[in-house]
């Protein structure tokens, strides 16, 4: 377990109800992620907070320097515990960042991933982590997304989430819920 790190992806203010891009189920996902964060802090496991900012002030959300781009207070990094914040400008948390190097320096081999959005940044980070050789666990109920539209049809967030979790579980990660993961940690 000591070679395990928690990666919290984009749990930022704009995804919450008062933000510019609120997600379905974000408050419950954040509550679940907070319980995992608490466990990892108790066990002194490495924690990485990934924070997204778009490179333009004209972005629909996560505008550079905005309150919406700030990490949600429920996930606030603990600086005294040396929790790391990685700033990204792409969907993939590994692309153009020091995330992989940071994890390698700490001897991390296993990642537990939580955050948002299931169909974008969680999917991209999980696939990239697996491709880089990490054993990955995605805590599906600590992730959230929103409805999507394709060919004039609205796909409910629950179906978007389920489809992406099924795809990740097929070949990229163990996909389980928070309670099951915490129980495994004994």
pLDDT in tens, 161-181: 999 999 999 999 999 999 999
pTM, rounded to two decimals: 0.96
Q: What is the mean pLDDT of the chain?
A: 96
Question: What is the average per-residue pLDDT within 46-63?
Answer: 95
Concatenated DSSP letters of 153-181: EEE-HHHHHHHHHHHHHHHT-EEE-HHHH
Predicted pLDDT of residue 154: 97
**Rounded Cα distance, 49 and 11, in Å:** 8
pLDDT in tens, 16-47: 999 999 999 999 999 999 999 999 999 999 99
What domains can be seen in the chain, in order of their start residue?
Answer: 4-184 (3.40.50.850)
Question: What is the average per-residue pLDDT within 75-84?
Answer: 87
* Residues ≥6 apart with Cβ < 8 Å to 109: 3, 4, 133, 134, 135
Structure tokens at 177: 């819920």
Q: For residue 149, how many other CB atoms are within 10 A of its CB?
A: 8
Predicted pLDDT of residue 21: 97
pLDDT class of 2 with cuts at 50, 70, 90: low
């Amino acid at each position: 377990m000591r070679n395990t790190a928690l990666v919290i992806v984009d749990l930022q203010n704009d995804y919450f109800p008062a933000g510019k891009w609120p997600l379905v189920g974000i408050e419950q996902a954040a509550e679940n992620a907070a319980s995992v964060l608490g466990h990892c802090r108790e066990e002194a496991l490495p924690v990485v907070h990934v924070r997204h900012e778009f490179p333009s002030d004209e972005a629909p959300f996560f505008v550079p320097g905005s309150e919406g781009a700030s990490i949600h207070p429920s996930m606030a990094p603990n600086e005294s515990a040396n929790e790391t914040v990685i700033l990204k400008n792409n969907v993939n948390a590994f692309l153009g960042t020091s995330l992989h190097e940071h994890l390698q320096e700490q001897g991390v081999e296993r990642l537990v991933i939580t955050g948002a959005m299931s169909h974008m940044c969680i999917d991209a980070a999980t696939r990239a982590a697996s491709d880089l050789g990490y054993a990955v666990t995605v805590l599906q109920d600590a992730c959230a997304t929103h409805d999507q539209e394709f060919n004039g049809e609205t796909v409910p967030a629950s179906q978007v989430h389920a489809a992406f979790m099924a795809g990740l579980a097929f070949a990229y990660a163990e996909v389980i819920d928070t309670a099951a993961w915490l129980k495994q940690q004994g």
